[in-house]
Amino acid sequence: MFTGSLLCLLVSENIEFLVINAQHIKFVTGRRIAINDTEWIAKLLRYGLLKASFIPDRNQRDLRELVRYHRSMD
């Protein structure tokens, strides 16, 4: 899961971003000859071929962190 200080920074600055599963990109059909990865990913995004991963809201992230901490205490 994509969490931590980078996620908090992006959210606090209201920067729009997508987290994409690398396995999903790997299995999108098409040829990548003579094109670098960033151009390929940008092309896939423009054509709507990539789906954003779920990022829980702040309350859910806090709750998950609390539950993980509680489980680690056992």
Phi/psi at 53 (nearest 5 deg)?
-75, 155
Phi/psi at 2 (nearest 5 deg)?
-85, 95
pLDDT for res 46 = 92
- What are the tokens at 59? 């309350």
Of the chain, the percentage scoring pLDDT greater than 90 comes to 8
Arithmetic mean of pLDDT over the chain: 82
pLDDT category, 10, cuts 50, 70, 90?
confident
